[in-house]
Chains A and B, each alone.
Chain A
Amino acid sequence: MVWNIIKKQGLLFLRNPQELLLLLALPMILITILSTALGGLINGGSSPISINVAFIEHGDEQREVEKFLRDIEEQLPPQAVEEVRANIEQMLPITIIKESIFGNEEISEFIEVDYLNVSKREDVLNNDEYTTLIEVPENFTYDTLTNLVFDSGKVPSLILMQNEGQQVGTGVINNLLTQFQEQLTLGEFLGKNQIDMDNLQLTSDVKGEIVTINEQEPVSSKAYYTLGMVLMNVLFLAGAIGSYAFHEKQIHVFDRIMIANVSRWSYFIGVLLSGTIFAFIQCLIIFGFSRVVFGVTWPDLTAFFLITLAFSLSVGGIAVLLVAISYRINTETITNFFTSIIVTLFAVLGGSFAPIGDYSKVIQFLGNLTPNGASMTAYLTILRGEELLKIGNEILYLIGFAAAAVVIAVLCFPKRRLSQ
């Protein structure tokens, strides 16, 4: 019986291309537009987000370079030493980060870097306004140069302390440093500077590590807006299911189902599962699109499916709640209110358009109360390479949200006859 109701809902969706267009094509278009817009922002242009970076050096690059040059005289032929010495200015990692990356005109428009003394470290850690703290450990430059020239295997690391509340910002910083890291390790950098790699015995497969503390992966704008649009548009599905169901009441199909001695709870469960299943399918289709077109992939598929399922369940809960209320008050007002106002509100709070939670603890808290916001947090957590355990709270919250919606729906759903 329940399956029959779900199947019918599927057929109805298939027969309504307009509805499908809204539920599937629209988010795809939005993802494309928004992520290109933010892509443009990373390449320059005016930026709605500003990123504050604190930069602390534990060592002294100049002293380390001098030590390095002294040391290689004993190990390399004079000709090679000369070559290194001549190009050393372009090989200094910290200088490059400071000048080429953060000093870049376009980048400095939205990233502000404070170069601070070691003594300020505690202050930075306690200050929520910083997106990232970059720490350069002692001997970083020395080790980098040694590794470059001798392939010493001793891979130096920058230490990044990231503010978990500012997901896009940390993503941007990670992206920039990763690019730099790749240039540094893949030899491009040396090649560009015409250093004879054979002379330097440089091997190009040296793998360095920049990150750090949490080993967090950067979140690309495409991934971010895929999430934003999926989570917002799947909410519309709850509204669509609500409308269909209320229409069934209006055209007396629901009466027919009741007259056939079908329990109203079978119908109720049919709506709940329709909402859940079609939300799940909708998520997968749009994520699939984003995977194929933008290459947005998921590091942990189990966690990915778990979040998607929990979110879909909460959408099913909303759908059945809308149906129960509209059946009770016998108008579709509630569903219209949901699709026109609540979805937008949830989407904004939940960070579908911009990571607004990064700028205010209150908004972040409110955002995490919305099912889409909680899901967003969970998805971003696994995108940044965290493990399954870290999203336990969000998953539990989503299931709890669904359960609460179902309970309220049960209480609202007209129990006996449809006599008004």
Chain B
Amino acid sequence: MIELVNLTKEYKNVKAVKNLSMFIERGEIVGLLGPNGAGKSTAISMLSSLVEPTSGDVRFENSSIIKNPSKFRKIVGIVPQEIALYEDLTAEENLHFFGRIYHLRGAKLKQKVEEVLEQIGLSDRRKDVVKKFSGGMKRRLNIGVAMLHDPEMIIMDEPTVGIDPQSRNYILETVKRLNEERNMTVLYTSHYMEEVEFLCDRIYIMDKGDLIASGTKEEIKKILSSENTIAIKADRFNKEFLDALQNHPSVNRITIGEREVLIIVPRAVNMFSEVIKIAEEYGIELVSVDNKAPTLEDVFLHLTGRALRD
């Protein structure tokens, strides 16, 4: 349906996106993952023809979106990372305004506003000004505005940042439902692995402007096939123990939490007995030591050596 070809955007000091190539098929939910500053929003801005790429192209139905954006704009709904709403207007007034912007009018407009309010679960708060909404409600309205004109495709830029788990689930379920019921194509950007794992068929991972991995969930997890992640849980760790783990020749990477330490080790090594031995040596009372199924988070850690979120 849509294809990004060697898309590059250079700002004065940074290359925000470097040679990004990706495609999205009709009816897919595609995830775009990456930490802060990876270039996700920049990629989306070029995709929605708000920012002109330094080089490269975006193709939609055999023509360039960069040169001729209007055809694509008609069928796409964009949910920006920011809350792009009038805080002083009510939910309903916002929807009305943006509906008119999409040339909806009269009964059709009314019906669409009604429908969207229903979809985003804000029917009973329609008369409240957005200023008074919770973060989650604002996010939902932010999505609702992008759905007014019945887009075939929706692009969501981190639609769940900074909101409560309930709203987050609501949004994820809504996206899934839109995809299943209306065959809506979705490009979903996030730095939450679990969201992308839950929603997406295919995934692209970016870091510092580069595409560092792409494929289906399974394909990407296979990247980890040669390694194991072991989760070590205890009520308390001490420095000696952690140093010993860190310096252990078989430990490739280590992530330290308060009560859980993750280590990545080659699959061939049996690390369990090693961990228990070290724990005894430094007086750590272990709660559990588990072999963890690889997650996308692990993949990211593997690829970049950094956790996705700080």
Whether B51 and A253, one on each chain, are in contact in the complex, defined by CB atoms closer than 8 angstroms, is no
Interface residue ranges of A238-269 to B (CB < 8 Å): 251-253, 255-262
- Complexed CA–CA distance, A260 and B102 (Å): 6
Q: Which residue of A lies closest to B71 (CB)?
A: A261
Q: Which residue in B50, B88, B97 is a CB contact (below 8 Å) of A259?
A: B50
Chain B residues near A416: list those with CB within 8 A. Answer: 52
**Chain A 252-309 residues near chain B, CB threshold 8 A:** 252-253, 255-262
Which chain B residues numbered 80 to 130 have a C-beta less than 8 Å away from chain A?
80, 82-86, 88-89, 93, 97-98, 100-103, 129
Find out whether the CB atom of A252 lies under 8 angstroms from the CB atom of B82: yes
CB-defined contacts of B51 to chain A, threshold 8 Å: 417-419
Contacts of B93 in A (CB 8 A): 11
The answer, yes or no, to whether B49 is at the interface (CB within 8 Å) is yes
Please give me the residue from chain B that is nearest to A258 by CB atom.
Answer: B50
Distance in angstroms from B99 CB to nearest chain A CB is: 9
Q: List 17 A-B contacts (CB under 8 A).
A: A4-B97, A11-B89, A12-B88, A16-B88, A252-B84, A253-B86, A255-B84, A259-B49, A259-B76, A260-B73, A260-B98, A416-B52, A417-B50, A417-B51, A418-B51, A419-B51, A419-B52
Residues of B contacting A: mostly: loop
Tell whether A251 pairs with B85 under 8 Å between CB atoms, given A256-B98, A261-B73. Answer: yes
Question: A15 CA to B94 CA in the complex, in Å?
Answer: 13
Q: Which residues of the partner chain A approach B145 to less than 8 Å between Cβ atoms? A: 256
Counting CB contacts under 8 A, is B291 at the interface? Answer: no
A interface footprint on B244-269 (CB within 8 Å = 1, 0 otherwise)? 00000000000000000000000000
Distance in Å from the Cβ of A77 to the closest Cβ of chain B?
A: 82
Q: Which 5 A-B pairs have the closest CB atoms?
A: A15-B88, A252-B84, A4-B100, A417-B52, A419-B52
- Total count of chain A residues near the partner, CB < 8 A: 23
Give B residues with C-beta under 8 Å from A.
Answer: 11, 48-52, 70, 73-74, 76, 78, 80, 82-86, 88-89, 93, 97-98, 100-103, 129, 145, 149
Contact A259/B100 with A15-B88, A418-B51 known, Cβ cut-off 8 Å: no
CB–CB A256/B83 < 8 A: no
A8 within 8 A of partner (CB): yes
A260 to B52, CA, bound (A): 17
Distance in angstroms from B153 CB to nearest chain A CB is 12
Query: Per a CB cutoff under 8 Å, which of B70, B84, B129 touches A251?
Result: B84
Known contacts A260-B98, A416-B52; A251/B78 CB under 8 A: no
A-side contacts of B88, CB under 8 Å: 11-12, 15-16
- Nearest-Cβ distance from residue B206 to partner chain A, whole angstroms: 20
Report if A197 contacts B (CB, 8 A): no
**Most chain A beta-carbon contacts within 10 A, residue among B50, B76, B80, B145:** B50
- Tell me if A's interface is mostly helix, strand, loop or mixed: loop
B309 → A minimal CB distance (Å): 24
A342 at the interface (CB under 8 A from B): no
- Across the interface, name the chain B residue whose C-beta is closest to A416: B52
Q: Are A15 and B78 in contact (CB under 8 A)?
A: no
Asked whether any CB of chain B lies closer than 8 Å to the CB of A1, the reply is: yes
Residues of B within 8 A of A4 (CB): 97, 100-101
List, in ascending order, chain B residues with CB within 8 A of A418's CB: 50-51
Map CB proximity to B onto A400-420 as digits: 1 under 8 Å, 0 otherwise: 000000000000000011111
B103 neighbours in A (Cβ, 8 Å): 1
Q: How far is the CB of B166 from chain A (nearest CB, A)?
A: 25
A8 CB contacts on chain B under 8 angstroms: 86, 89, 97
With A257-B101, A260-B98, A261-B74 as contacts: A251 and B48 at CB distance below 8 Å: no
Do A252 and B86 touch (CB < 8 A)?
no
Measured CA separation A258–B86 after assembly (Å)? 16
